[in-house]
């Protein structure tokens, strides 16, 4: 029997080598810059995005993967497997689940016997990525469709995403800011947000504010320790945007203060950065 096919969207922020190693199929978001549409991580890289960002006359906008993008992936996988698991960014933050649902109905009608399971991960960024990674590892090990689905569902309440932003204005503009978000901001004060920290509804929660980048990064590390079982090894993904040095500093802090079973560092995709602006973030869970 062929292994279960694993599908996700481009907000997962997994390192490219892991996506390749575990044969993870990615439906790209769309990024619209000055009227031109780019496929996230395919037609524009984070470095290219930041180079263009500084000279934009209009702020960029984004679009979810089309039903056609998902359908093309499902159809291609149907040539080699009867079972597919599609792991999607929080339904509360994006219409990607609706897009994947339309594709699922279309492709399953054309391929009797094909099973496509859609899973709302209730998270995003590396937290989504960790759910995808564990599902892909299970699939590569030859686990059944039901087993892969259970592993993914068991991961969802464990994974967390936290971030320190320079400003909340991008998140507010995109309609994804916490309800308690403050429009007026103080210079040098970094707002902190999280998903899966205060609630399990897949929405963004406010986690307070810290003055200065160093204090904000230390608070992120403290939040990791507060929301995991530190007696067990931690799995952590460090994310950065326009400044890799920030990512490296945060990674060093994590390694010094946490017992890590695995740690990765990735830049946020252009589509994610459109909604966050300059930031540093952590995605994590404990065994």
> Of 155, 154, 162, which Cα lies nearest the Cα of 224?
162
Domain identity same for 180 and 128: no
Average pLDDT (242-249) is 94
Whether the predicted pLDDT of 68 surpasses 80: yes
**Cα distance between residue 181 and residue 280, in whole Å:** 18
Average pLDDT (17-36) is 95
Q: In terms of residue numbers, what domain contains 176?
A: 160-286
In a domain, 217, yes or no: yes
**pLDDT of res. 164:** 94
**φ/ψ of residue 30, rounded to 5:** -110, 140
In a domain, 42, yes or no: no
In a domain, 49, yes or no: no
Domain identity same for 209 and 180: yes
> Of 193, 125, 192, 195, which Cα lies nearest the Cα of 158?
195
Whether the predicted pLDDT of 287 surpasses 60: yes
Domain identity same for 237 and 103: no
**pLDDT of res. 280:** 95
Domain identity same for 272 and 183: yes
Domain identity same for 255 and 212: yes
**Cα 47 off chain centre by:** 18
What six digits make up the tokens of 21? 């190693």
- Lookup result for tokens 């054309």: 110
Domain identity same for 170 and 121: no
Whether the predicted pLDDT of 182 surpasses 60: no
Split into its structural domains, the chain has a count of 2
Whether the predicted pLDDT of 277 surpasses 90: no
Contact yes or no for 224/258 (Cβ under 8 A): yes
**Cα distance between residue 192 and residue 208, in whole Å:** 5
In a domain, 48, yes or no: no
Whether the predicted pLDDT of 253 surpasses 90: yes
In a domain, 148, yes or no: yes
**pLDDT of res. 52:** 85
> How many residues make up the chain in this entry?
287
pTM beyond 0.85, yes or no: yes
**pLDDT of res. 184:** 45
**Of the residues 155, 174, 190, which one is the last residue of a structural domain?**
155
Domain identity same for 116 and 207: no
Domain identity same for 224 and 142: no
Domain identity same for 151 and 164: no
Spatial strand order of the sheet with 205-211 comes to 205-211, 189-195, 160-165, 279-286, 234-240, 260-267
Domain identity same for 256 and 269: yes
**Of the residues 155, 179, 206, which one is the last residue of a structural domain?**
155
Higher-confidence position of 185 and 160: 160
**Cα distance between residue 172 and residue 179, in whole Å:** 9
Q: What percent of the chain has pLDDT over 70?
A: 93
> Of 151, 177, 153, which Cα lies nearest the Cα of 163?
177
In a domain, 54, yes or no: no
Domain identity same for 137 and 178: no
Whether the predicted pLDDT of 31 surpasses 50: yes
Q: Quick: pLDDT tens for 127-169.
A: 999 999 999 999 999 999 999 999 999 999 999 999 998 877 6
In a domain, 109, yes or no: yes
- Lookup result for tokens 């969207």: 9
In a domain, 13, yes or no: yes
CATH number for the domain spanning 178: value is: 3.30.1180.10
Higher-confidence position of 213 and 84: 84
What six digits make up the tokens of 119? 């899973």
Average pLDDT (217-239) is 95
Q: Quick: pLDDT tens for 85-96.
A: 999 999 999 999
What six digits make up the tokens of 93? 């933050």
**Of the residues 112, 138, 155, which one is the last residue of a structural domain?**
155
Whether the predicted pLDDT of 66 surpasses 80: yes
**pLDDT of res. 176:** 52
Q: Quick: pLDDT tens for 189-211.
A: 888 999 999 999 999 888 988 98
Supply the mean pLDDT for the chain.
91
The burial class, CB within 10 Å (0-12 / 13-18 / 19+), for 280 is: buried
Domain identity same for 101 and 86: yes
- Lookup result for tokens 């037609």: 43
CATH number for the domain spanning 83: value is: 3.40.50.10440
From 66-75, 108-117, 172-181, 250-259, the region with the lowest mean pLDDT? 172-181
């Amino acid at each position: 029997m062929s292994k279960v096919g694993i599908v996700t969207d481009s907000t997962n922020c997994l390192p490219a080598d892991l996506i390749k190693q575990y044969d993870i199929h990615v439906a790209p978001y769309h990024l619209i810059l000055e009227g031109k549409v780019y496929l996230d991580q395919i037609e524009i890289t984070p470095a290219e995005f930041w180079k263009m960002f500084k000279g934009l006359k209009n702020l960029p906008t984004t679009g979810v993967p089309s039903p056609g993008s998902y359908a093309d992936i499902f159809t291609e996988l149907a040539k080699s497997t009867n079972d597919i698991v599609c792991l999607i960014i929080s339904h509360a933050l994006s219409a990607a689940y609706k897009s994947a649902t339309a594709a699922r109905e279309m492709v399953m009608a054309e391929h009797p016997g094909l099973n496509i399971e859609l899973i709302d991960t209730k998270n995003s960024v590396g937290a989504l990525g960790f759910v995808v990674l564990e599902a892909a590892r299970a699939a590569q090990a030859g686990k059944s469709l039901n087993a892969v689905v259970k592993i993914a569902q068991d991961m969802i309440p464990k994974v967390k995403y936290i971030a320190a932003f320079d400003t909340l204005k991008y998140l507010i503009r995109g309609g994804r800011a916490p309800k308690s978000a403050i429009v007026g901001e103080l210079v040098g004060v970094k707002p902190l947000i999280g998903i899966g920290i205060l609630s399990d509804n897949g929405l963004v929660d406010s986690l307070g504010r810290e003055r200065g980048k160093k204090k904000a990064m230390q608070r992120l590390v403290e939040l990791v320790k507060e929301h995991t079982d530190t007696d067990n090894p931690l799995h952590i993904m460090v994310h950065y945007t326009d400044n890799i040095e920030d990512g490296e500093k945060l990674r060093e802090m994590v390694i010094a203060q946490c017992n890590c079973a695995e740690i990765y560092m990735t830049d946020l995709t252009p589509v994610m950065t459109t909604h966050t602006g300059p930031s540093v973030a952590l995605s994590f869970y404990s065994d």
